[in-house]
Amino acid sequence: MLEDLIKERLKKKESLEKAGVDCYPAKVKRDCQIEEVLKNFLFLSLFKKKVAIVGRILALRGQGGIIFIDLYDGSGSMQAVVSKKNFGNFALYKENLDLGDFIAIEGTVFKTKAGQKSLKVECLTLATKSLRPIPSQWYGIQDEEEKLRKRYLDILLNPEIRDMFKKRAKFWNSIREFLIERDFLEVETPVLENTTGGADAKPFVTHHNALDIDVFLRISMGELWQKRLMVAGYEKTFEIGRQFRNEGMDAEHLQDYTQMEFYWAYADYGMGMDLVEDMYKYVALKTFGKLKFTIGEFEVDLGKKWERYDYIETIKKHTGIDILNTNMDEIKERLKGLKVDYSREGFNITRAIDNLWKYCRKQICGPGFLVGVPVEVSPLAKRDPKNPKITQRFQPIIAGSELGNGYSELNDPVDQMNRFNDQAELRKAGDEEAQMTDNDFVEALEYGMPPTCGFGMSERVFSFLMNKSARECQIFPLLRPKKGD
């Protein structure tokens, strides 16, 4: 069926070309968008001003010597009316235009008897001939995976999806705007690294042919590089870019996604929490125009007072386990009782505690910050001077999930090396997410890094505020190839 339709359109293309029509011209005339025409309709109508617009045909109806065309150009839709009386190539185009074709038209505006704002076409030029039929505007694409695979059609047919990606652009631009207004410098750090750093994650590995070495795709937004810039004398930096983690895929996690991280010299985690709270509110208002959101089963108000959730006390409250006085057997038994499924590969006390926390966080609506996180699960955070067993780490908790991660950054090179060594032991024991030792970074710390607060957040924040899965909120998510491709 589809092949027959394509063949029919190819015949139409051939007919047009025989008549001297270029089906794929490099340029067509255009002096305004449909949105502008509709906005200035009264003026254009009163003074009989000609306009030239372009767009894709989304509806096509013939009625005797008249063709009615619904044209869409990204800014809006408008009806165009082609009459045999004032259009020389009427028969050629009536027989050979299809839904999905791009056309350029010139003419004057008028209202039909039904009151519909329309354009009376005096000149029509084919801009692009479509060879495949577009799915019905009303029914669209029904299969969810097919929607993601043919996202360009989903965007074309679904105004909500189009609007979502405009919001996504506003989301990242508002973060950039917020930080630049506060004198943060935007930087770019390496995507390919000899040693991954800045997170507990399994990296992607690739081969660098020119240097003949294996390298890793970064798993953080240049954390250890931006800290080197603190050593270099910059006081406020940030980066927005793509990072990669070769891990599991679910509604909240992807392997290839956008992340932002900032680093702020002479600030601690308390100052970081104040800045992040302000930033989330600013971004929510700029992007969505509101502070109240429905996210899953939670009703979240970002405008209310942000709470503080103590890591140790929260786990004790929800599970009965005191993580400072426990062991693997006790945690395993409790995870079993809570029906928490977890990976046994590389499982250790750090992963065990983390699984307890992941169970607990699902009970918390937020907004607020997780604090009081133990050293064992925070290899890059500064110890709390009041309690060396915990760190000055903070994580925004919204709708049962961690939507960001920040620290008073560790700047003691001896302590940092010791923690890298502890992580190395975990890697030897099979924990592929444990951090790699970066001797060059320790050397940089030995020159002296000022007290610094660092924070990172990913596009997951956007997907949560949209109340959609992370994959739905990526414009072109990675999918398995179709069978036979």
Q: Which residues contact 303 (CB under 8 A, 6 or more apart)?
A: 281, 291, 292
Give the span between the Cα atoms of 334 and 336, in whole angstroms: 5
Closest CA to 267 of 151, 128, 406: 406
**Which DSSP symbol is given to 184?**
P
Place of tokens 């050979």: 96
Q: What is the model's pLDDT at position 64?
A: 86
Q: What is the model's pLDDT at position 260?
A: 98
Q: Is the pTM of this model over 0.85?
A: yes
Give the span between the Cα atoms of 316 and 109, in whole angstroms: 70
Give the span between the Cα atoms of 369 and 277, in whole angstroms: 9
pLDDT in tens, the chain (485 residues): 889 999 999 999 999 999 999 999 999 999 999 999 999 999 999 999 999 999 999 999 988 899 999 999 999 999 999 999 878 789 999 999 999 999 999 999 999 999 999 999 999 999 999 999 988 765 567 788 888 899 999 999 899 999 999 999 999 999 999 999 999 999 999 999 998 877 778 899 999 999 999 999 999 999 999 999 999 999 999 999 999 999 877 777 899 999 999 999 999 999 999 999 999 999 999 999 999 999 999 999 999 999 999 999 999 999 999 988 888 889 999 998 998 887 777 788 888 888 999 999 999 999 999 999 988 778 778 889 999 889 999 999 999 999 999 999 999 999 899 988 988 888 888 877 778 888 999 999 999 999 999 999 999 999 999 999 999 999 999 888 887 66
Residue 390: its H or E element: strand 387-391
- Extract the tokens encoding 259: 């992340």
Q: What is the model's pLDDT at position 351?
A: 83
Instruction: For residue 138, report the phi and psi dihedrals to the nearest 5 degrees.
Output: -85, -35
Measured at the CA of 438, the angle between CA 434 and CA 443, to 5 degrees, comes to 145
Q: Which residues contact 421 (CB under 8 A, 6 or more apart)?
A: 437
- Extract the tokens encoding 446: 């030995």
- Exposed, middle or buried: residue 268 (CB in 10 Å: 0-12, 13-18, 19+)? middle
Q: Which residues contact 25 (CB under 8 A, 6 or more apart)?
A: 125, 126, 127
**Residue 243, helix vs strand vs coil:** strand
Q: What is the model's pLDDT at position 263?
A: 98
* 259 close to 217: Cβ distance less than 8 angstroms: no
Measured at the CA of 223, the angle between CA 222 and CA 228, to 5 degrees, comes to 95
Alpha helices in 186-342 (DSSP H): 223-232, 269-288, 311-319, 328-337
Give the span between the Cα atoms of 116 and 112, in whole angstroms: 5
Alpha helices in 29-117 (DSSP H): 34-39, 41-46, 90-96
Q: Which residues contact 454 (CB under 8 A, 6 or more apart)?
A: 223, 226, 227, 261, 262, 263, 264, 272, 406, 407, 409
Residue 57: its H or E element: strand 50-63
Q: What is the model's pLDDT at position 52?
A: 97
